[in-house]
Structure 1
Amino acid sequence: MKIILSGYMGSGKTVVGKSLAEKIGVKYMDLDEEISKWEGKNIPDIFKESGEIYFRRKEGEVLQEILKNDNSVVLSLGGGTPCYGKNLQLIKDDEDSVLIYLKTDLQELLRRLSEEKDQRPVISHLGSFEALEDFVRKHLYERSFYYNQSEIILSTEGKSVEEVVNAISEKLK
């Protein structure tokens, strides 16, 4: 089984994914890390040198390769992965995959993202908290159509990582 975590950047996909994989005893993969391995450079450098369109194309190719593999895995997607190209359909068509949306409150996303803005190429250029808030609001609105097509939608509001992992484990039984 492939457990695929989606959600906006800062929603906790990586930390939840690592903890969930450890709890259920399967491999953990982060799609961005896999893209970096394929390209031999980090995500900000890929964006800077080749642009977002190139990155999104690679993202789809790497996702397709991971889905072809028969191994069980917990996979954290990038925040935009399900919204581009045929990525969402690839996941939905894969009968061994379950897509989970980690739905995180706007204020919590803003708190987390304002602390890590410089490490995130999509938002690193935003100069103020207000610009960040406008950007995130707009993206959440645009992306909610894709995120809400997940088989499981799990609100993370007020939950610890352990509580989110336990909730996912319960829903998968």
Structure 2
Amino acid sequence: MEQVLLDTNFVSVLFDQRRPNFAAVKACAQNFASTDLVYLSVVVLAELRYGLEAAQRAGQDVTHIRQTLAEAANYPLAEVGRHTAEAYGEVKARLAEHYLDLSRRPPRWLENWQDRVSAQTLQVDENDLWIVAQAIERDYLLVTSDQRLADRFRPAIAELRLLVV
């Protein structure tokens, strides 16, 4: 039995046949064992709700987002709590230690952090950090279709169990 946490990128592809990697994501989801416990992060739900609201305000068709939200409602939610907050602090500190020159004051916003070696922006946002913290806190297998997330977190968080589809 595996405990699985789905990332936003995975969920948004899972229910949208127009996406290029839809077949691979769908196959992955169908290959979860019947004994696996598959969770949706409450952060993913928030990101999907934001996408719906933003697209509606822009006058875009939101049919696919509504369908994704309806399908996502079938998964039990992984909530954010006190222990998630502790894991978040640890994960963020380890990212800072790995990527930043800590002799200088790190930029406040994670989105502005730059790798001390390459000077490239990390391109990690706070929601990714919360989802990774949930996976670490509960030892979930984090399933994503976001290679960038894997590239940024794996070097700094060795115990992160991650499947990129």
Q: Larger C-alpha radius of gyration, 1 or 2? A: 2
Work out which structure has the larger RCO, using CA pairs closer than 8 Å and 6 or more positions apart in sequence: 1
Which structure: greater helix fraction? 1
Give the shorter-chain TM-score range.
0.3 to 0.5
What TM-score comes out, normalization by structure 2 length?
0.33
Give the alignment's TM-score, normalised by structure 1. Answer: 0.32
